[in-house]
Amino acid sequence: MQPQKTDLARTALQAHRAPLDMRQRRLLILCDGQRDLVQLGQLVGPETPAMVIQLIQSGYLVLSAVTPTAVPVPVTERRRSLVAARIYLLDILELQRHPQAAALFHTLQQARSDDAVMAALQTALDALPGLTSTGYAERVRQRLLEVLPKEHAERFQIALV
């Protein structure tokens, strides 16, 4: 079973008016219908199953069963997109609720060219360890590298060295 956001969850994530704490918001962002409970538990922690049940009961998540004929596609073969990477990091920055994160959010949101987006992604990732834990910042960086197109991910990894 793979938890997936409902329209209520998408609205709540955009509006910031729902009665969700930071951990619930983080879990909702990660519930994309691609990860199962085990994978989510590795990213969020041991309280994940209880949180998923609570979010299902509140109408924020639904469970989708993996069809037996569907072969899961490895992360490295999934469709990569600079837009997806940008949206992911925008969501992460929005969760931080810090003035510096808000400024980084605005910069990334305003970036139009691929080079400007890449520069804003790099700047945000460089600042993230100062806004949150180093381990969380590293998980965000790893996830970002998974969704970036390969040519951007390679360029991005070179910049990180």
| DSSP category for residue 32 | B
With cut-offs at 50, 70 and 90, classify the pLDDT of residue 120: very high
Highest average pLDDT, of 16-25, 34-43, 77-86, 125-134, comes from 125-134
pLDDT at 129 > cutoff 80: yes
pLDDT score, position 21: 86
With cut-offs at 50, 70 and 90, classify the pLDDT of residue 10: confident
With cut-offs at 50, 70 and 90, classify the pLDDT of residue 44: confident
Q: Each residue of 64-101: pLDDT tens digit? A: 765 444 445 454 445 788 888 888 898 889 888 899 99
Element spanning 77, H or E = none
pLDDT score, position 18: 64
Q: Mean pLDDT, to the nearest integer, of 19-38?
A: 86
pTM above 0.85, yes or no: no
pLDDT score, position 151: 85
Residue 108 in contact with residue 86, Cβ under 8 Å? yes
Q: Each residue of 97-107: pLDDT tens digit? A: 899 999 999 99
What is the spatial distance between Cα 156 and Cα 111, in angstroms, rounded to a whole number? 16
Closest to 41 (Cα-Cα) out of 23, 59, 57: 23
Kindly report the average pLDDT of the chain as a whole number.
83
Q: Which residues contact 9 (CB under 8 A, 6 or more apart)?
A: 28, 31, 55, 60, 61
Q: Mean pLDDT, to the nearest integer, of 115-120?
A: 93
Pair of tokens at residue 135: 């381990």
What is the spatial distance between Cα 11 and Cα 33, in angstroms, rounded to a whole number? 17
Tell me the three state secondary structure of residue 7: helix
